[in-house]
């Protein structure tokens, strides 16, 4: 693991690190914010999964999360959204290939050799973080934006006991029924739709739910509402009787101005679960 | 004036607008955050002047100021740092020409026709803002980062009664004695150094001071300390007996992680003066 940069921030350190990933078979870069308390011992960890076109950097510089995490004494990790590099398959579209990993393990060519973001986020990166930083891996929570909200919800429900709480900003909520999903799931996982179901938060919510609190924020003026399909997730939450808060926020769109506006609420929500 | 974008943020609106500038003889773009309270009537205004290489966008997306401004019920304006466009002179260096206006009125060729950022910030943009938005121009304050801290300090001291408070993050504090200053002031203003003095915060502080509170934050691990020369400003403040708080912040560098870490303090400082 190599340190690319470390900047003092809110009494702690915002670092950027790169490492050779076995899951993705390429170098992967991530951001990690450690609050001041990490100097004295392990601290809880909140994952932030980013959306389409993002790298590790977008949320790290634009979401305004570090100040709230510092106040709560918790760490933040900002993974990249896909494998990257010259030898890694890509597509001209912004929503497939590099920058659009969709948090799945691809089984189809040309994606299968590198696009294993599920394993990267579920297994490899947690092990690397635990080994190298003062993190209490018994206290984890997860959030994300758009494609990252999809990843946060599907990972949290698939790994019971791993995350104490899950939240999402404008998640891709029903990818098996959306052009943000059908295209990518068929490219990465093939045409057999039974393989897709584990990667649709609304279907998994209806089927299994999450053993802990859930917080969803969705902008009512989001320009991508037709692709995100929040109604499918709201319906599944209600049908499941899932412990959850689902907020439709008047006037907000899909941008980081929306994300940062509600970041305090999300970090506080997770801190309440992490310090319980 | 044209609206380029408006995003809901923290209960208010983050807008980006462009207009034909007479002072700079080109189109100029700026960001303006209006808190929710602006729907009911004029609100106070805090100016944020950016540093070298920045546009109107950097602080708007990375400084985390809107949340604090919303809490205090004040507006924020994020001007660009220079004239721009194909017909506007430029230099290959990052610290001269476009993105590096230094908040002066250039008198020398090839800069004189467009590089009139002093007039733009002191006269033209305030008039435009007053005409178009619900702003209480009797309640203004100003801050900035690096080159923008230089601009904030020199403008505040030159325009008594205009700004109730002034602050700066890692300002270029003594440009007449620095490579961040001598090069630009000679290019824009010519070799007669008597014309430079009005644009050196340390010299103006020693000579006139500011009729109100001053707050300066400087990272102790700033990679540009030798160019910023905070000691000249600290010395001038002490010699002048200026009402001021000067903080050397251990471990912090020159980045927006530094700026955002102390943004709450700066917005609160200005709000206290603006609502007095």
pLDDT at residue B10, rounded to an integer: 98
Known catalytic membership, residue A222: yes
B75-79 vs B26-34, strand pairing mode: antiparallel
- Kindly report the backbone phi and psi dihedral angles of residue B195, in degrees, each rounded to the nearest multiple of 5, phi listed first: -75, -10
Domain residues of chain A, as ranges?
Answer: 2-274
Q: Which residues of A touch B258 (CB under 8 A)?
A: 7-9
**What residues does A105 pair with on adjacent strands?**
A116
Cβ of B14 and A256 within 8 Å?
A: no
**Which B-chain residues 238-267 have CB contacts (< 8 A) with chain A?**
249, 251-253, 255-258, 260-261, 264
Closest partner residue to B7 (CB to CB) among A64, A67, A255 is A255
- pTM attached to this predicted model: 0.93
pLDDT at residue B241, rounded to an integer: 95
Known catalytic membership, residue A179: no
pLDDT at residue B65, rounded to an integer: 98
pLDDT at residue A191, rounded to an integer: 96
pLDDT at residue A163, rounded to an integer: 98
Cβ of A258 and B221 within 8 Å?
A: no
Q: Which residues of A touch B8 (CB under 8 A)?
A: 219, 221, 249, 251-253, 257-258, 261
**What letters, b where the CB count within 10 A reaches 16 and e where it falls short, cover B147-184?**
bbbbbbbbbbbeeeebbbbbbbbbbbbbbbebebbebb
In this predicted complex, what is the ipTM? 0.89
pLDDT at residue A57, rounded to an integer: 97
Q: What percent of chain A has pLDDT over 90?
A: 100
Known catalytic membership, residue A254: yes
Is A33 at the interface with chain B, CB within 8 A?
Answer: no
How much is the mean pLDDT over chain B? 97
pLDDT, one tens digit per residue, over B26-78 is 999 999 999 999 999 999 999 999 999 999 999 999 999 999 999 999 999 99
Cβ of A261 and B221 within 8 Å?
A: no
pLDDT band at A82 (very low <50, low <70, confident <90, very high): very high
User: Of B114, B145, B254, B270, which one is the catalytic site residue?
Assistant: B254
pLDDT at residue A105, rounded to an integer: 98
User: Of A114, A145, A199, A254, which one is the catalytic site residue?
Assistant: A254
Q: Distance between CA A38 and CA A73 in Å, rounded?
A: 8
pLDDT at residue A10, rounded to an integer: 98
Range list of H helices, A111-174? 117-119, 125-132, 147-158
Cβ of A10 and B261 within 8 Å?
A: yes
pLDDT band at A276 (very low <50, low <70, confident <90, very high): confident
pLDDT, one tens digit per residue, over A28-71 is 999 999 999 999 999 999 999 999 999 999 999 999 999 999 99
Q: What percent of chain B has pLDDT over 70?
A: 100
Averaged pLDDT, B8-16:
98
Averaged pLDDT, A15-19:
98
Q: Distance between CA B42 and CA B40 in Å, rounded?
A: 7
- Kindly report the backbone phi and psi dihedral angles of residue B81, in degrees, each rounded to the nearest multiple of 5, phi listed first: -100, 0
**How many CA atoms does the CB half-sphere of B153 hold within 13 Å?**
37
Residue range B2-274 in CATH 3.60.140.10: no
Q: Distance between CA A26 and CA B207 in Å, rounded?
A: 59
**Which B-chain residues 37-76 have CB contacts (< 8 A) with chain A?**
61-62, 64, 66-67
pLDDT band at B253 (very low <50, low <70, confident <90, very high): very high
Q: How far does B107 lie from chain A, in Å, by closest CA? A: 38
pLDDT at residue B276, rounded to an integer: 86
Cβ of B256 and A221 within 8 Å?
A: no
Q: Which residues of A touch B69 (CB under 8 A)?
A: none
Averaged pLDDT, A14-41:
98
B13, B257, B263, best to mutate vs chain A, most A CBs in 10 Å = B257
CB distance B95 to B184 below 8 Å: yes
pLDDT band at A260 (very low <50, low <70, confident <90, very high): very high
């Amino acid at each position: 693991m190599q340190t690319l940069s470390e900047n003092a921030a809110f009494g702690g350190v915002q670092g950027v690190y790169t490492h050779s990933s076995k899951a993705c078979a390429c170098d992967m870069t991530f951001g990690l914010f450690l609050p001041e308390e990490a100097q004295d011992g392990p601290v809880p960890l909140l994952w932030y999964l980013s959306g389409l076109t993002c790298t590790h950097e977008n949320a790290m510089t634009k979401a305004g999360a570090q100040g709230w995490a510092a106040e709560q004494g918790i760490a933040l990790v900002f993974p990249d959204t896909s494998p990257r590099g010259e030898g890694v398959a890509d597509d001209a579209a912004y929503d497939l290939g590099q920058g659009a990993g969709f948090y799945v393990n691809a089984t189809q060519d040309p994606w299968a050799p590198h696009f294993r973001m599920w394993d990267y986020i579920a297994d490899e990166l947690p092990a690397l973080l635990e080994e190298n930083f003062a993190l209490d891996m018994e206290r984890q929570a997860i959030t994300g934006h758009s494609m990252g909200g999809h990843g946060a919800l599907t990972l949290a429900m698939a790994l019971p006991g791993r995350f104490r709480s899950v939240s999402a900003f404008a998640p891709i909520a029903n990818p098996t029924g959306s052009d943000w999903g059908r295209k990518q799931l068929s490219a990465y996982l093939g045409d057999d739709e039974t393989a897709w179901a584990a990667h649709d938060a609304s279907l998994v919510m209806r089927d299994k739910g999450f053993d802990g609190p859930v917080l969803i924020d969705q902008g009512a003026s989001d320009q991508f509402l037709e692709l995100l399909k929040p109604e499918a997730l709201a319906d599944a939450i209600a049908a499941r009787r899932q412990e959850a808060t689902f907020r439709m926020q008047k006037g907000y769109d899909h941008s980081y101005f929306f994300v940062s506006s509600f970041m305090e609420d999300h970090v506080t929500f997770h801190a309440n679960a992490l310090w319980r």
